[in-house]
Structure 1
Amino acid sequence: MPFESCKKWYVARSLPRQESRAEFQLLQQGFSVFLPRVMKTIRHARKLRTAPTPVFPSYMFVALDIGRDRWRSINGTIGVASLIMQGEAPVPVPVGVVESLLDLVDEDGLIRFDRDLCEGQSVRVLAGPFTHAVGVLERLDANGRVRVLLDIMNGKVSAYLDRSALEAA
């Protein structure tokens, strides 16, 4: 993602569940957009499926040079509710916030919060049948598999999971 030194990151709020549409429309207008996504397990009608979902539902980041870019057109873009404003001007995101999120993006364009996991650490499951369960990371495997001791129903259960399904708790 090309980034010029005079540009800053700003937050655009999308209409509910229209983040992808807003991202597409902004990209078509030539704006640099970052919509952080993670893989998440979605339960619907007793079925589980894993899909990329936004880290911050209804919010995305747009790189702008306020003095040069036509930033007011963002507020009229299909799928966008508005830029986050303070008075008459958009509010920039503090330096380092978006950059640290960009550092966590993998080759598939998804945020990976599991890069800094270590054995003995408390973790939370993000995807799969144990979504939202908390446990202790017991073992890391070179193949991306981990063994986690989960606290379920007042007991400890050992489970093998994919490393990307965990985040530090």
Structure 2
Amino acid sequence: MKSWYLVICKPRQEARAQLNLQNQGIEAFYPKLSTEKLVRGRRSVKQTALFPNYLFVCLAAENGNFSAVKNTRGISGFVAYGAQYQRVPNELIAQLKAERLDSHESHMPQAGDRVTVNNESFKNIAAIYKEPDGDMRSILLIQLLNKQIEITVNNQEIDKI
């Protein structure tokens, strides 16, 4: 019977530790968080560890290769309470993996999505997202005087419904 265990990694070496463990045939997982930032006027998506300096490994409770994990590059050791290594419920790992798959969806709306515009000209106006207009602006369709009109707004002024 395999269980998930919590491991402490050296600072900013979660990816290195995961790769080294996988090269040894040991299942390892660390959830990542995607954050969108504006850098020099351009949108960039950066992935960081959801739990910095921690990693989950799946090992057999009886005959797992715990010493190989402890001696892997990038790993400091197991989280332990007394003499027992900290086990993590399988349900928690399954939930983290499922959320990780869901988070691959972009934070920006897709063509046809309903949005609201929050700027001085169009406060809380419903619109339909059409397409991006460069990295910082988007083209939206709004209903104005019974006619569909295209407007261009900053991405910070758009809220996905």
With the shorter chain as reference, the TM-score category is: 0.5 to 0.7
In structure 1, what is the equivalent of residue 96 of structure 2? 101
- Say which of 26, 40, 46 aligns to 2:35: 40
Distance apart, 1:34 and its partner CA: 1.1
Shift of 1:105: 3.2
> Are the counterparts in 2 of residues 147 and 158 from structure 1 also a CA contact under 8 Å?
no
SS of match in other structure, 1:67: coil
Match of 1:81 among 70, 76, 84: 76
Query: Could you tell me which residue of structure 2 aligns to residue 27 of structure 1?
Result: 22
How many Å separate the matches in 1 of 2:114 and 2:78?
A: 40
**Alignment partner of 1:159 is 2:158:** yes
Aligned to 1:119: none
Matched, 1:147 2:115: yes
Conserved 8 A contact 1:12-1:82? yes
Letter in 1 for 2:71: G
Q: Within the alignment, does 1:112 sit opposite 2:93 as a pair? A: no
| Matched residue SS, 2:100 | coil
Q: Specify the alignment match of 2:4 in structure 1.
A: 9
CA change 1:53–1:72 in 2 (3 A) is same
Note if contact 1:145-1:160 (Cα within 8 Å) is conserved in structure 2: no
CA-CA distance at 1:143 after TM superposition: 4.7
Q: Quick check: 1:38–1:52 contact (8 Å CA) kept in 2?
A: yes
Partner of residue 122, structure 1: none
Q: Secondary structure at the match of 1:25?
A: helix
Equivalent pairs: percent with the same residue? 22
Distance 2:55 2:43 in 1: 26
Q: Are 2:49 and 1:54 equivalent residues in the alignment? A: yes
C-alpha distance in 1 between matches for 2:42 and 2:110: 30
Maintained 8 Å contact 1:10/1:61: yes
Distance in 2, Cα, partners of 1:89 & 1:76: 18
* Post-superposition offset of 1:91: 1.4
Distance 1:99 1:86, change over 3 A: same
Shift in alpha-carbon separation, 1:81–1:147, aligned structure 2, 3 A:
farther
Query: Which amino acid in structure 1 is aligned with residue 62 of structure 2?
Result: G
Query: Judging changes above 3 Å, is the alpha-carbon distance between structure 1 residues 96 and 47 closer, same or farther for their aligned structure 2 residues?
Result: same
Task: Compute the RMSD of aligned alpha carbons.
Answer: 3.4
